Amino acid sequence: MKFEKSQKLYEKGLVHLVGAVNSPVRAFTSVGGNPLFIKKAKGSKIIDADDNEYIDLVLSYGPMILGHRHRKVQKAIKKALKNGYSYGASTESEIDLAEIVCSAFPGMDKVRFVSSGTEAVLSGIRLARAFTGKDKIIKFAGCYHGHQDALLVAAGSGLATLSLPGSKGVPEGAVKNTLISEFNDLESVKKHFKRHDDIAAVIIEPITGNMGVVLPEDDFLKELKKYLESKGALLIVDEVMTGFRSKFGGAQELLGVEADITCLGKVIGGGFPVGAYGARNEIMEQVAPLGEMYQAGTLSGNPIAMAAGIATLTELKKQNPYEQFEEHAGIIEIFLIETARKYKVNLVVNRFGSMLNPFFRKGEVTNFEEAKASDSKKFAVFFWEMIKNGVFLPPSQFESWFLSSALTDKDIKKIAEAVDKAMLAVSK
Ligand code: PLP
């Protein structure tokens, strides 16, 4: 397999782009080598600049749940393009997408569209503070909620990959109201409430994808919600990754918990820049123009992005691929575990629905500390062998793999063959 054109583009990209990437998760820092440049994609496949074809388990870090360039999504985008791209005024498509989104989340009477998951979360936090009149926020170690200052502490995703505790350039003042708890540990939340009486909200990735996949134990979220209610604090569920992916109604539907504020992104834009935050009426009425919490955006509710979102969610509802996801992810999990056993590699696999990933370590992974104790060198060997055998994975042990409904049985077979070769390479 040749990577000559990618290599040339990488060198060219270095001149005017930082590290030749526009998001550090796309750099290959933790797996070695240089990032691949992508030319095009269709269905379950992605093709790089050298015409190497891969089964795509990155899927733009989640959004492409129907696979790439789904016929109906493409048709909707083309149709919307004919009318214009952006008006700075309301369109019917925003109402249509709002209806679909609100109907999927029972705790959401109203929604506000923004242009990224980061914006959705930073607005959701501002809203929690506006509604409660309190300042402090609790987040869980290893959860990633976008790159806003206040939440770039003990964060997963690229920070975990690069082993960064936080980000340079974030002033102390920006994080002084951020408290950290341990995922799956309610006591570590209660500890903060014993010390502080100005906690507005707890924010959580309900099923994490940004320290790799970590599942909430038993009734962790339900217990958390009950506890927060008793303290007059809000539960912000960051479903940027899990929304419409774990289930149509997100992790909340799956886990039987209702957020006070829900943040969304990724899937709802069908590959275009869309985020959203929503809540029941009494909370959303804080937001301008109804209330005094200000939040705005030139391209918010962009008509092309709305069209892609509507088409994606409509098709997703029709396909209802959640059982298929469970089945496919289950098969991949079994291959991973069986080959690891065959080649005597220490491995644990966490998965839920269409999100899964292996951790190269012995013992379970239930929080950030355990995730971080995984062997990244082994993952790097595994990663490159998967690439060479035609499977595109996130270049980090701390990112979930994603499945799309375009994945075929033939693709699964190819993934299984690649896993066998990659695991053998790890064992050497
Ligand atoms: N929240 C979660 C759970 C995420 O996974 C991400 C991105 O991966 C974000 C927020 C930030 O979203 P965006 O990258 O669209 O700003």
3-state SS string over the chain?
Answer: CCCHHHHHHHHHHHHHCHHHCCCHHHCCCCCCCCCCCEEEEEECEEEECCCCEEEECCHHHCCCCCCECCHHHHHHHHHHHHHCCCCCCCCHHHHHHHHHHHHHCCCCCEEEEECCHHHHHHHHHHHHHHHHCCCEEEEECCCCCCCCHHHCECCCCHHHHCCCCECCCCCHHHHCCEEEECCCCHHHHHHHHHHCCCEEEEEECCCECECECECCCCCHHHHHHHHHHHHCCEEEEECCCCCCCCCCCHHHHHHCCCCCEEEECHHHHCCCCCEEEEECHHHHCCECCCCCECCCCCCCCCHHHHHHHHHHHHHHHHHCCHHHHHHHHHHHHHHHHHHHHHCCCCCEEEEECCEEEEECCCCCCCCHHHHHCCCHHHHHHHHHHHHHCCEECCCCCCCCEECCCCCCHHHHHHHHHHHHHHHHHHHC
> Which pLDDT score is estimated for 11?
98
ipTM of the complex: 0.99
Tell me whether residue 144 is one of the annotated catalytic residues: yes
Question: Which of 318, 352, 380 is the endpoint of a domain?
Answer: 318
Q: Are residues 255 and 113 in the same domain?
A: yes
Tell me whether residue 266 is one of the annotated catalytic residues: yes
Q: Are residues 105 and 176 in the same domain?
A: yes
> Which pLDDT score is estimated for 100?
98
Q: Are residues 83 and 177 in the same domain?
A: yes
Q: How many domains does the chain have?
A: 2
Range of the domain at 275: 71-318
Q: Are residues 277 and 150 in the same domain?
A: yes
Q: Considering 136, 225, 247, 266, which one is annotated as catalytic?
A: 266
Residue 55 belongs to a domain with what CATH number?
3.90.1150.10
Taking the centre of ligand 1 as the mean of its atom positions, its distance from the CA of residue 62, in whole angstroms, is 10
Taking the centre of ligand 1 as the mean of its atom positions, its distance from the CA of residue 226, in whole angstroms, is 26
Q: Are residues 185 and 166 in the same domain?
A: yes
> Which pLDDT score is estimated for 165?
65
Question: Which of 285, 301, 318 is the endpoint of a domain?
Answer: 318
Question: Which of 260, 289, 318 is the endpoint of a domain?
Answer: 318
Q: Are residues 55 and 125 in the same domain?
A: no
> Which pLDDT score is estimated for 152?
87
Q: Are residues 85 and 56 in the same domain?
A: no
> Which pLDDT score is estimated for 269?
98
Residues of the chain predicted below pLDDT 70: 157-165
> Which pLDDT score is estimated for 160?
65
Q: Are residues 252 and 330 in the same domain?
A: no
Taking the centre of ligand 1 as the mean of its atom positions, its distance from the CA of residue 295, in whole angstroms, is 18
> Which pLDDT score is estimated for 343?
98
> Which pLDDT score is estimated for 171?
87
Q: Are residues 261 and 371 in the same domain?
A: no
Taking the centre of ligand 1 as the mean of its atom positions, its distance from the CA of residue 335, in whole angstroms, is 29
Tell me whether residue 238 is one of the annotated catalytic residues: yes
> Which pLDDT score is estimated for 351?
95
Q: Which residues line ligand 1 (CB under 6 A)?
A: 61, 116-118, 121, 144-146, 157, 205, 209-210, 238, 240-241, 265, 275
Residue 82 belongs to a domain with what CATH number?
3.40.640.10
Q: Are residues 86 and 101 in the same domain?
A: yes
Q: Are residues 403 and 282 in the same domain?
A: no
Q: Are residues 335 and 407 in the same domain?
A: yes
